[in-house]
Amino acid sequence: MQTVGISPENTTIPQEKYELGKITVVPLSPAIGAEVVGVDISEPLPADIIVAIKQAWHAHLVLLFRDQTLTPEQHIYFSSYFGTPQSPNRTSFTPMTEKYPEIIEVMNVGMEKARLDRSLGNAEAFWHTDMSYKDIPPAASALYALEIPPEGGNTCFCNMYRAYDDLPPDLLAMAQDRTAVHDASRNSAGKLRPGFVDEKDPRKTPGPRHPLVRTHPETGRKALFLGRRPYSYIPGLPVDESEALLNCLWSHAGQEKYAWCHAWKVGDLLLWDNRCAMHRRDPFDAAQRRVLHRTQIAGDRPY
């Protein structure tokens, strides 16, 4: 099989539609994201197709599979090709997630008010890595759309390999042997999680320290690893220097040339690599329903 950009030596991202073994891959932007055409992921997949999907995934970081009809079992089964589906600890459940603890319902309906108030609801979610507030964040997430509003709620992704490859030398020198604290106390809409206090001093932010530059365990490539901006802190630096360096790194990584936004349709599944891509979500009208199911695949400690 031909190879596409997945190693430290081969970092080019194909821009035109191409065949990879038995799959067809359609790049969706110069920076990140590709559609895999014509694969029904509800069916068990042969090994050669899984290999091709993984190769395309490592090259494009985010894969889109359209027009899928998946039961929770099929969604979990598909996720298991990429590692071990995780069951995150949660404080409240619906009957669906009680039966399938590997699935998180990303939705703005069907919850008691108290739970809705703690969830993303219809809010904007700022740039983040899923669950980077854990010592071992997931390697990947697979988000499947069941109900989608007519507008709003787009999800955008950015390529953190590219952000790393392009780092100006002075920024690289300041970042490369440092860590950052990833805030565990608030979600990606900025809401305080249960059991945490509203601490404003970044030096007291609860959460793990992760390297600012991490190596992807499968591709061997280096990526900038920022997690989430609010209340992040670079240990060992005075607060003003930490803030200044984080602001520089974030404004570099946040450039449009590294990003792509997806407008969802029902039946879309997006599989993203949480180790080398960040994502964010646009807000949407609270009167509209938006329901997605997410699985997450166990990762390694970032290094």
Where do contacts with ligand OGA occur on this chain (CB under 6 A)? 106, 120, 125, 130, 155, 188, 279, 281, 292, 294
Does 273 interact with Mn ion (rule: CB under 5 A)? no
Residue closer to Mn ion (CB basis): 6 or 140: 140
Q: CB 242 → ligand OGA: shortest distance, Å?
A: 25
Q: Could you tell me which stretch among 93-101, 122-130, 157-165, 192-200 binds Mn ion (CB under 5 A)? A: 122-130
CA distance 217 to 276: 11
With a CB cutoff of 8 Å and minimum separation 6, the contacts of 80 are 297
Residue type, 24: T
DSSP 233: B
Partner that binds at residue 281, options Mn ion, ligand OGA, none, CB closer than 5 to 8 Å by kind: ligand OGA
Residue closer to ligand OGA (CB basis): 174 or 276: 276
With a CB cutoff of 8 Å and minimum separation 6, the contacts of 2 are 18, 20
**Contact assessment for residue 184 and residue 207, using Cβ atoms and an 8 Å cutoff:** yes
In the window 215-244, what residues touch Mn ion (CB under 5 A)? none
Does 130 interact with Mn ion (rule: CB under 5 A)? yes
DSSP 151: S
Residue closer to ligand OGA (CB basis): 242 or 274: 274
Partner that binds at residue 155, options ligand OGA, Mn ion, none, CB closer than 5 to 8 Å by kind: ligand OGA
Report long-range pairs for 26-29 (Cβ below 8 Å, ≥24 apart). Answer: 27/60, 28/60, 28/64, 28/260, 28/262, 29/259, 29/260
Partner that binds at residue 180, options Mn ion, ligand OGA, none, CB closer than 5 to 8 Å by kind: none
Q: Total number of residues binding Mn ion (CB under 5 A)?
A: 1
Residue environment code for 209-234, b if the CB has 16+ CB neighbours within 10 A, otherwise e: ebbbbbbbebbebbbbbbbbbebbbb
Q: CB 18 → ligand OGA: shortest distance, Å?
A: 27
Residues lying near Mn ion in the complex (CB under 5 A): 130
